[in-house]
Amino acid sequence: MNYEEAMGYITDTYKFGSKMGLERIKRLLELLGNPQKGLKYVHIAGTNGKGSTTAYISTVLMEAGYKTGIFISPFIQRFNERIRINKEEISGEDIAKYIVKIKDMIGVMVSEGSSHPTEFEIITAMGFMHYAENNCDIVVLETGLGGIIDSTNIIDDSVVSVITTIAFDHQQYLGNTITEIAEKKAGIIKENGSVVIYPQSDEVMEVFLKECQIKNAKLYKVLSENVNIISSDTTSQAFDFEEHKGLQISLLGEHQIYNASLAVKAIEVLKEKGFHITDENLRNGLFNTKWPGRFEIVFRNPEIIIDGAHNVQGANNLAENLKKYFPDTKFVFIVGILSDKDFEHMLSPFFPIAEKFIAVAPDYYRAIKANDLKAYLEKFHDNVISFDTVKGALDYVTAEVDKNKIICAFGSLYYIGEIRDYFNLV
């Protein structure tokens, strides 16, 4: 099997959909020799901010000299981004090698009467194989959906669990109330473990407190009042967090300061558990962290910002950051959204600050068609156009929009990578 054939096999597993539960991944990993055992983990769950927090923690660990496995989803431009060791993405050759073994073991599972593993379960197993084969010192492991029944939660233990913001998303899998969603995310808290929590509402925090009591886990809270923002512009941000003074990050948006504070608290727990990480490692790691597609300026004249805001909380954060960085400005928005999102509440913060909307459809089967999105936007705004392709929209804004305008593309991570490709960003 070559890389193209392996990717074809992975893609074909879309047809098995998303099925919750750990029984399939458990059996698959048993047949593969349980590669997940013997590794150390930072396990990260939450609604928004998982990717950025993963990036902060893993970059600090790399700065400290640790061979760090990184597992994320979804990818932005290349599938290989999902499984990395330090800065090196998994190779096509390794993907093909692992898929041959996984396919054989799935054959055994099916012959035993098991249902076929899902795409995410297969990718999770492949990640564990890669990290084990390369003897990673630690793996920063981002969940896919939820926590308790997420495939990544097959791990026996974690050095520290990290929970980012909790908000409404994927309700069809996680529940229709904020406490139901929090209960699913709390599933990554381990018996006698340690967990670091982003600032949450009282009802959400109560869920985590209860889970920590049940599992005798130690809770570390990041408190908003312990974060002091010193400066913030379109190049960098500076802040104090607890005893750490003058920390700097390159990622933009006030929410990134809180994600970075969450990462700092997780690093402190890792130090308590025996990891050697200096203050210099911490500072360099935070500042050197890059995370594409999150309030990222990808072009100047006109200024084009891309943001993977794909739910209500993410959209609200984006709208507030735009108003903060560019006060009294009207924006040109490129919008592409998946049909299972709460697009009505996602879009409403942008109507007062929009000069024009450009509707597109991400190249994904769940995407809202560009013309359908245009028709919806026209109910609230009188300047809306659409393009059948993302490239068409980008050709238009770079050639026809006034160079002094600010353009922001948001709505789904499934087309943000296409924009980065358009501008030859790697």
The alpha-helical segments, DSSP class H, found in 112-249 are: 119-133, 171-174, 178-185, 202-215
Closest CA to 174 of 340, 317, 47, 356: 47
Q: What H or E segment, with its residue span, contains residue 409?
A: strand 406-410
Angstrom distance (rounded) from CA 404 to CA 389: 24
Helix axis angle for 92-111 and 119-133, nearest 10°, is: 120
3 state DSSP class of 358: strand
pLDDT in tens, 17-71: 677 789 999 999 999 999 999 999 999 999 889 999 999 999 999 999 999 999 9
> Taking a C-beta distance cutoff of 8 angstroms, is the pair 288, 250 a contact?
yes
- Positions of CATH 3.90.190.20 in the chain: 296-422
- Per-residue confidence in pLDDT tens, the chain, 426 aa: 999 999 999 999 877 767 778 999 999 999 999 999 999 999 999 988 999 999 999 999 999 999 999 999 889 999 999 999 999 999 999 999 999 999 999 999 999 999 999 999 999 999 999 999 999 999 999 998 777 889 999 999 999 999 999 877 555 556 668 998 999 899 999 999 999 999 999 999 999 999 999 999 999 999 999 999 999 998 999 999 999 999 999 999 999 999 999 999 999 999 999 999 999 999 999 999 999 999 999 998 899 999 988 889 899 999 999 999 999 999 999 999 988 888 889 999 999 999 999 999 988 888 999 999 999 999 999 999 999 999 999 999 999 999 999 999 999 888 999 999 999 998
- Positions of CATH 3.40.1190.10 in the chain: 3-288
pLDDT in tens, 353-372: 999 999 999 888 889 999 99
Tell the CATH topology of 296-422.
Answer: Protein-Tyrosine Phosphatase; Chain A (3.90.190)
Looking at the DSSP bridge assignments, the partners of residue 305 are 297, 408
For domain 3-288, give the CATH number: 3.40.1190.10
